[in-house]
Amino acid sequence: MQHGRYPFIVGFLILPLTLYGVFVISPFVQAFHYSLTDWSGVSPDLSYVGLQNFQTLMRDGLFLQALRNNALLLLGLPAITVMLALFFAFLLNVGGAKGKAGVQGIRGNGFYKLAFFLPQVLSVPVIAVIWAVIFDPTSDGLANSALGWVGLGSFGWLADPNLALYSVLWVLIWGSVGFYLVLFNAAMSSIPRDIFEAALIDGAGRFSTFVRVTMPLLWDTIQTSWVYLAILSLDVYALVAVMTAGPGGPDNSTQVISLQIAQNGFQFGRAGYASAMGVVLFFLTLIIATVMLRLTRRERIEY
Amino acid sequence: MAVATQPREPAGVDENGSAGKPARGTRPVSGGASGDSAVNVFSHTVLIGWSILVMIPFLWALVASTKTSREIFGDPWALPASPQWSNFSSAWDKGVGDYLLNSLIVVSGGVLLTMLLGSMTAYVLARYEFRGNRFIYYLFAAGMMFPVFLAIVPLFFVVQNLGMLSTYHGLILVYVAYSLPFTVFFMHSFFRTLPTSVAEAAIMDGASHTGVFFRVMLPMAKPGLLSIAIFNVLGQWNQFVLPAFLSPEKPVLAQGIATLLASQRYEGDWGALFAALTVAMVPVVVVYLVFYRQVQAGLTGGTLK
């Protein structure tokens, strides 16, 4: 069994580890290094400026605007997506008619999951382009004409600085709900049925069963989803880059950290400064993930 | 993977009229009170509402691919007066064929290499004890947490220094490197669940370690390989951030779509834009409809671990 063991291990690992080291690990490490320099990215010379980039960041109005916009997405995206997905999962699982086996899942369960999940398999630019056209600000745009039927006026959507970021948030929610619905549904169907039956025999209604029995059993999954969605709201790039005017407009109302990194790093020749933004993004992600896991920690329920 | 425990139900069972969806109120079958069917009607209404909200944009884009620009904006809900199939040829003239070819080459190379290197790494890490094993495993696991935007600026210069900007092999290698963490993580847990006895017997019979991996373990790992392959095909096909910065001269389809939107803002050929969208959407949707259980399981499975 020992024969040729080490050559085999090294032979199998050398190529993947090299690729991973060159294209993933090294850029991450370099980003921390460059964040302490004034490197332009164009010329090879650079000098160390200590934490100066980070001090400049704190006074950079555009970056602070981007941070605020990411913060709004962070407040909206996880909460609304998780609530909608849970609500739909609830309807799928207990919205059906009551039969001899107690409350049942709804008919057409498979169809709904198939439909809701669809945005998840398409690339973000495809979704961004479709919504950019749906949100046409004239009264003949698809969204505006649909709202016209129910008597609401037309909106400027992505062209309105007060509405643009919410339009982006909507598309993010619209695209994510299906994924989390399928996730919650999978977690729910791994809960033994007799737990629900016991709750029903004890006289619990659908809603209280859901809140008191299902949700606590799903807590781990909900927690993970919350963190994933938080990371998504900090990381958002493609949707904003493709869908908004500028991108980041109008009036920087949809400016986000990733756009700032791309602009500073590739257009303004401030690669060191952009790396500092990347480092801030990294620590924000780390802190928010940790805080969220801490805040939502509960005793784990085994079943 | 957590999915695949639900009973198989054909899509769109609703036409059978069961479970009181049409709200006739007289169905005694469910043996419930009228409040019960009210819940049922409410559930279906809400769920159908959201289904429509999800599907309308895609269906609308499909129809728009056969309309003129004037029809798309003038009367957004109408069908085209006569289908403009020429939209597809003008989309082709705008480079969609090249984008499609670039995507096909990069994704097929990227997925094949990801699967090969990913399962080799996962196998060694899952089945062989050696110094540094845990370290390498956590190194890969950490790669799943880092925001890609932290790396994007240095990554650009790494690829540039290697002379690989806007090349197929450059993009393929970068895709593989960024797909490895999840692939290794997923296949690692899969290889752990496979029985050891078969591999040991093969070693007894004089097979080499490499032979055991390719002839015994890989065939046994087929279900896991299928899930992760679908995951990688979709992930790499839809990749936008990496090619947007690393392959400006050789755009893949997702990038091309974004570029086309930008240029239609002054060219105004919206029909061609939607034709290009259709070309980008239809293959993915077909794959999804055929493999939807595996797709949903593959995409959500990793999250639950």
Greatest mean pLDDT among A92-96, A202-206, B128-132 lies in B128-132
Can you give the pLDDT at residue B81?
Answer: 79
Distance CA B273, CA B119 (A): 39
Closest residue in A to B144 (Cα) is A24
Looking at CA atoms only, how far is residue A158 from chain B in angstroms?
Answer: 14
pLDDT higher than threshold 90 for residue B82: no
Mean pLDDT for A80-93 is: 90
Q: Identify the residue among B47, B58, B265, B289 best suited for mutation to test binding to A, counting A beta carbons within 10 A and taking the highest.
A: B47
Q: How far apart are CA A71 and CA B149, in angstroms?
A: 17
Could you say which residues from 61 to 100 on chain B have a Cβ atom under 8 Å away from some Cβ of chain A? 61, 64, 72-77
Range of the domain at B116: 94-304
Residue B23 has pLDDT above 90, yes or no: no
DSSP-assigned states of every residue in B36-101 = HHHHHHHHHHHHHHHHHHHHHHHHHHHHHTTS-HHHHHHSTTSPPSS--THHHHHHIIIIIHHHHH
pLDDT of residue B269: 84
pLDDT of B20: 35
Q: Which of B223, B250, B253 is nearest to B239 (CA)?
A: B253
Tokens of B220: 């046994």
pLDDT at B19 over 50: no
Confidence grade of residue B26 (pLDDT, cut at 50, 70, 90): very low
B215-254 pLDDT, tens digit per residue, is: 889 998 888 888 888 889 988 998 999 999 999 889 999 9
The confidence score (pLDDT) of residue B158 equals: 93
Task: Please give the average per-residue pLDDT across B19-35, as a whole number.
Answer: 42
| Bridge partner residues of A98 (DSSP) | A103
What confidence score (pLDDT) does residue A301 get?
65
Hunting for tokens 């643009």 — which residue is that?
Answer: A164
Domain chopping of chain A, boundaries = 61-295
pLDDT, greater one: B296 or A122? A122
CATH fold of A61-295: MetI-like fold (1.10.3720)
What value does the CA radius of gyration of chain A take, rounded to a whole number of Å? 24
Which of B184, B208, B257 minimises the CB distance to A126?
A: B257
Instruction: Give residues 229 to 268 of A whose Cβ lies within 8 Å of B.
Output: 231, 234-235, 237-238, 241-242, 257-258, 261-262, 265-266
pLDDT of residue A281: 93
What pLDDT was estimated at residue A292?
81
Q: Is residue B162 part of a domain?
A: yes
pLDDT at A124 over 70: yes
In a domain, B297, yes or no: yes
pLDDT at position B32 is: 46
Cα B279 to its chain centre, rounded Å, is: 16
pTM of the full predicted structure? 0.86
- pLDDT for residue A204 is more than 80: no
Contact assignment for B124 to A88 by CB distance below 8 Å: no
Q: How high is the mean pLDDT of chain B?
A: 82
Domain count along chain B:
1
Average pLDDT over residues A131-146: 84
pLDDT-derived band at B4, boundaries 50, 70, 90: very low
Q: Residue A73 has what pLDDT? A: 95
Task: Give A99's strand partners.
Answer: A102
Task: Give the residue, B19 or A270, on which the prediction is more confident.
Answer: A270
Q: Does A270 touch chain B (CB under 8 A)?
A: no
Residue A107 has pLDDT above 60, yes or no: yes
Among A27, A121, A228, beta carbon nearest to B295: A121
Of the pLDDT bands very low, low, confident and very high (cuts 50, 70, 90), residue A20 is very high
In percent, the amount of chain A with pLDDT more than 70 equals 93
Chain-chain contact of B47 with A34 (C-beta, under 8 angstroms): no
Which value, to the nearest 10 degrees, does the dihedral of the CA atoms of residues A8, A14, A20, A23 take? -160
Give the pLDDT score at B141. 87
Mean pLDDT across B139-168: 90
Span A266-302, pLDDT tens digits = 888 889 999 999 999 999 999 988 888 887 776 666 6
Tell me which of A10 and B1 has the higher pLDDT. Answer: A10
Q: Which among B118, B179, B152 has a CA at the least distance from the CA of B245?
A: B152
pLDDT band at B169 (very low <50, low <70, confident <90, very high): very high
**CATH assignment at residue B289:** 1.10.3720.10
What six digits make up the tokens of A47?
Answer: 């000098």
Average pLDDT over residues B163-178: 94
Of A88, A115, A190, nearest to B2 by CB-CB distance is A190
CB contact under 8 A, B153 and A28: no
The model's pLDDT over B264-279, given as tens digits with 9 standing for 90+, comes to 878 878 888 999 999 9
